[in-house]
Amino acid sequence: MSEGEFDLIARIRRRVPARDDVALGIGDDCALLQPPPGLQLAVTMDTLNAGVHFPPETAPADIGWKALAVNLSDLAAMGAQPAWCTLSLTLPQADEAFVDAFCDGFFALAQQHGIALVGGDTTRGPLSVGIAAHGFVEPGMALRRDGARVGDEVWVSGTLGDAAGALRQWQERKGGQSGLLQAKGHSDPLFDSLFARLDRPTPRVALGRALRGLATACIDVSDGLLADFAHICRASGVGADIDTEALPASAALRAAFDGDARRVLQATGGDDYELCFTAPPAQRDALQAVAARLALPLTCIGVIVEGGGVTCDGIGPDARGYQHFA
Ligand code: ADP
Ligand code: MG
């Protein structure tokens, strides 16, 4: 992208807030970063491709928010404190308006979590946003997938199925030529609140931090609860009984979908970015105290059992979440 590339990088660079541990940020061949002594670095990367991870009509500011949110969600799921990130931005053309709007969403969320953008790459091609995020966690304190034990309870934060409900409604409404923008123009409050979950997910960073020392295993729900929780079962060598009736639903989801359709969305729909974790029953009171402190509901949805796999009444194995190469 040559000329335009450097203009775009300059536009991005102007927006970056300072952090004391960034010795050298955007502008050189590498960033120079000072990790705090004694902490481990948690490193993650997620890419969002237009038409795969978000509808092509998604507002640029929402793309910026979501691309960072999905990475912060991975740090949250490990109990890590966000610190730094890099951004690989692939654009069809050097579109300054797009970059400015993208930065509005990206930096709004970055500021909430004090994460600094320290470098990246800008290239031409089909719209794609890759972010690598780095955070800190004390050795031995990270929330891994392999720590669930028989007898632990299974918990989930917030509500499930809203993002998938938004996508479902969008697909149903868009019909012939009417797209997302037109559907949103209808300004239906139910539709808007579901869509806010899809477009602007809230990474549960404070919850992940609070779960250090309480949870035995943790994952963020990106591909669907059953699909994601199966990763914990596999890594931990255990099984799980999930109670579909216990899955938490928002008022908007309850209003928009009847029982069976709603439960499938909750159990298999992706993109909610809630945390699903396991903890011994002895931690119940401590977990409820965390829920109260963070004003974030935590719901017990099942129990860890011997064996492998997730059993969940009423949801067949063929409806279990999103896989890219399935
Ligand atoms: P190089 O040729 O060394 O890879 P670039 O010209 O790609 O350098 O980038 C110049 C500087 O701008 C580097 O510090 C790089 O990290 C930063 N940068 C490039 N694109 C982005 C971006 N999308 N977001 C943040 N920093 C970027
Ligand atoms: Mg480069």
User: What is the per-residue pLDDT across 1-30, written as a single tens digit (0 to 9) for each?
Assistant: 566 889 999 999 999 999 999 999 999 999
pLDDT grade for 175, boundaries at 50, 70 and 90: low
pLDDT in tens, 69-123: 999 999 999 999 999 999 999 999 999 999 999 999 999 999 999 999 999 999 9
Strand partners, 275: 220
Integer Rg of the chain from CA: 20
Strand (E) or helix (H) holding 254: helix 251-256
How far does residue 27's CA lie from ligand 1's centre (Å)? 6
Reported as a pLDDT band with limits 50, 70 and 90, residue 189 is confident
Residue reference for tokens 């890594």: 235
What ligand is nearest to the CA atom of residue 88?
1
**Number of residues that make up the chain:** 326
Determine the distance separating the centroid of ligand 2 and the alpha carbon of 120, expressed in angstroms.
Answer: 7
* Contact predicate 304/161, CB 8 Å: no
Ligand 1 centroid from CA 28, angstroms: 8
Q: Which two tokens stand for residue 18?
A: 């300072």
User: Residue 2: what pLDDT?
Assistant: 60
Dist. CA 250–CA 115, nearest whole Å: 29
pLDDT band (50, 70, 90) for residue 179: very low
Condensed to tens digits (0 to 9), the pLDDT of residues 254-299 reads 999 999 999 999 999 999 999 999 999 999 999 999 999 999 999 9
> In angstroms, what is the span from residue 122 Cα to ligand 2's centroid?
7
Tell me, what's the pLDDT at 138?
Answer: 98
Residue partners of 305: CB distance under 8 A and separation at least 6? 150, 238, 239, 240, 241
Q: What are the residues whose beta carbons fall under 8 Å from the beta carbon of 282, sequence distance 6 or more?
A: none
Mean pLDDT of 197-211: 97
- Which residue's CA is the nearest one to ligand 1's atom 9? 121
How far away, in angstroms, is 83 Cα from ligand 2 center?
22
pLDDT at 177: 35
Q: What residues are in contact with ligand 1 under a 6 Å CB criterion? A: 9, 12, 26-29, 87, 89, 117, 119-122
Residue nearest to atom 5 of ligand 1 (CA): 121
More confident residue, 191 or 212: 212
Q: Which ligand sits nearest to residue 5's alpha carbon?
A: 1
- Contact call for residues 157 and 298 (beta carbons, < 8 A): yes
Report the amino acid identity of residue 271: D
**What is the C-alpha to C-alpha distance for residues 194 and 22, in angstroms, rounded to an integer?**
37
Q: Is the pLDDT score of 199 beyond 80?
A: yes
Q: Per residue in 117-129, pLDDT tens?
A: 999 999 999 999 9
Query: What ligand has the least distance to the C-alpha of 25?
Result: 1
The preferred substitution site among 1, 89, 98, 122 for testing ligand 1, maximizing ligand atoms within 8 Å of CB, is 122
Question: Concatenated DSSP letters for 235-260?
Answer: HHT-EEEE-GGGS---HHHHHHS-HH
List, for residues 46-69, the tens digit of each pLDDT value: 999 999 988 888 999 999 999 999
State the pLDDT at residue 169: 86
- pLDDT the model gives residue 178: 39
| Per-residue confidence (pLDDT) for residue 54, from 0 to 100 | 87
Beta strands in 50-157 (DSSP E): 81-91, 116-124, 128-137, 153-157
Closest CA to 274 of 244, 256, 296, 294: 296
